[in-house]
Structure 1
């Protein structure tokens, strides 16, 4: 099975590699120019002002000595800012990382001290003509300003299990399922939900069995959710409040299998008096089913894999 975090990490790695290629060459050129006027503050400022345009979207450009003490001013597109001259940056996240042998480092993302926003810093080692280390060029970036490819990360379709609150798991054997209002009217509730999903454009639903409510998202208004209480869920007239809409061709879940998924929710709800389903979710586009059990453990699993599992399997998983 694919590592649950591998796809997300791969997306981040691609973005960082793109930034590295964008920044490494111009910062090397700036370091070469600064080495020729080292360590004169006014001359370093002049080089940074002249070269700033080589570093796209840079917020601040500055020079540090080998002790990470700032020996230039901050140079930005708004001009020279002298407040940080003499600042000790040795404890900042980007100076706590090891600079590779290439002399260039793109830091991990961190939260900036002043703006409190995700940021990162590129560091370039400065050497003299004999190869001796003189210090560093620092280039700060606000993450929102960086020219990332901005490809949307796609959630992979594999089974993920997440353990819940230990205090709930520790007391699960001291509780038992109590019939909720939704339990008492489950035939009607599931029929209404199936109709909304197959004929009225609802693409995502969360059924809270224990608290007798549902949350739905509708394709014509996907940015807002609707909260349906038990009175709405047991009244088929609720379907009149949503326009008729053909089932989307982009859906991963076939419309005729929504009924099977909802029926499987019913079976898990009543499978055991100690281990039982508290809430279930279904999204027809990413094809994932979400399950939260009485022990507070959660599972996210492709709908087809979910339908292949038997009740005994889920009882065992909920207990683990």
Structure 2
């Protein structure tokens, strides 16, 4: 089963929790003897700072969220945080589990405005909770240990702008310059996708343009306007390129996909295709209609749908 972005987040958080839970608990055991003494707490946290991997700052809080020592950082002490009320910060609004350790959800830091995490460990004295040991982590400094997720390969529908959906039956398609020459434009795009190394193409039917990405220069997009999509000579500037063997869309299916998009463009004067995209590597097709609803689906499923399905 493919890993979703939520699965990747869970695994990443799990790895970080395993790295910091025990050293943070060990350091928390040393805090009660210095509790209430700012300088002693600073000293305890300074000594234990290097034992908390990837940590950017350590501090101690009362159960009400008031900081009772300085921030201890790699650069030394940050005394301006002493007495700070952290009770309204996102990590203080989460419930610390019964076992006394919490790794917060990510949030945007108040001062640096950067994605961050905070780990809280309950500090106990004589079996009673007297406060928390907090450890902040900058997401930029954390290693990525989970695999990058893959886009799901099933059909997804995403609703668009409610204002557009609410007035969809008051509008009617107006022919764009591309509409008057659509068969030739799509033939040019078929050549680029199957023979000229274009692996992704987004077609804007209403504004008569296409945005393309090439395998030889994948980090930069190029825009083909109506003039370019009317001139087969445009193919000359893209060198011949073998169709990628690891593409999920079969080469001979490209023409059928484009022809189906053409049908969706003209099938109904009110609900009509506005934009569409093809990515040969992930095998997905996206279509966005005049009602601003978008659909993402595997290309073979897209080809099974007749125009009557959409309308």
Q: Which residue of 2 aligns with 1:278?
A: 274
Contact 1:19 1:148 (8 Å CA) reproduced: no
Q: Which residue of 1 aligns with 2:34?
A: 37
Aligned counterpart for 1:75 among listed residues 72, 87, 99 = 72
RMSD: 1.4
Aligned counterpart for 2:132 among listed residues 136, 161, 166 = 136
Contact 2:8 2:148 (8 Å CA) reproduced: no
Structure 1 gap ranges (5+): 316-320
For residues 45-77 of structure 1, the C-alpha deviation after alignment (integer angstroms, 9 at most, x for no partner) is 111111111111111100111221111110011
Q: Which residue of 2 aligns with 1:207?
A: 203
Q: CA deviation at 1:280?
A: 1.0
Provide the secondary structure at the position in 1 that maps to 2:87. coil
Q: Which residue of 2 aligns with 1:53?
A: 50
Q: Report matched runs for 1:129-278 at 5 Å.
A: 130-149=126-145, 151-278=147-274
Provide the secondary structure at the position in 2 that maps to 1:36. helix
CA distance in 2, matches of 1:134, 1:167: 53
Contact 1:162 1:297 (8 Å CA) reproduced: yes
Structure 2 gap ranges (5+): none
Contact 2:11 2:146 (8 Å CA) reproduced: no
Runs of 4+ in 1 over 6 A off after TM superposition: none
Q: Do structure 1's residue 287 and structure 2's residue 287 form an aligned pair?
A: no
Contact 2:211 2:221 (8 Å CA) reproduced: yes
TM-score w.r.t. length of structure 1: 0.95
Aligned length, in residue pairs: 311
38-47 or 203-212, larger mean C-alpha shift: 38-47
Provide the secondary structure at the position in 1 that maps to 2:267. coil
Q: Do structure 1's residue 296 and structure 2's residue 282 form an aligned pair?
A: no
Q: CA deviation at 1:150?
A: 5.0
Contact 1:252 1:285 (8 Å CA) reproduced: yes
Contact 1:217 1:224 (8 Å CA) reproduced: yes
